[in-house]
Amino acid sequence: MEAMRIQLDGKAKFTGNVKIEFQIRGQNARLVSVDVIPNTKSDEIARDLYKQLSLMAGGDVKLKQSGDRITLEKANKNAPPFSLRIAYQSIIGVSFLIDQD
């Protein structure tokens, strides 16, 4: 993909975890994992996901976070495409959307 977004909404009702698989074409998939406690707001979960994804993305993908939304886009025309998928989600009260931006 050229650009994607992760949109979160809600507040965690219980302790939970989300795992997102991040892969740049030609590289192995990497798993980003974030644990949450009850009453964690979606913007706080987005901030933690953003930090983890920033470490894995390197210079090929540019990330931005605004509230409960994270956008990812190729850093330049020559950067390889990337993909995201929710591998596991057990956070009750929070919805996740991964879409093309």
Cβ 5 vs Cβ 72: under 8 Å: yes
Res. 1: pLDDT tops 80: no
Q: For 81, which DSSP code?
A: P
List the beta bridge partners of residue 8: 96
Query: Residues with Cβ < 8 Å from 40, sequence gap 6 or more?
Result: 11, 12
pLDDT for the residue numbered 26: 92
* 91 and 18 Cβ atoms separated by less than 8 Å: yes
Q: What is the CATH number of the domain that holds 89?
A: 2.60.40
Q: Domain tally for the chain?
A: 1
Domain containing 24: what range?
A: 3-100
How confident is residue 101, by pLDDT bands cut at 50, 70 and 90?
confident
Summarised one tens digit per residue, pLDDT across range 30-89 is 999 999 999 999 999 999 999 999 999 888 899 999 999 999 999 999 999 999 999 999
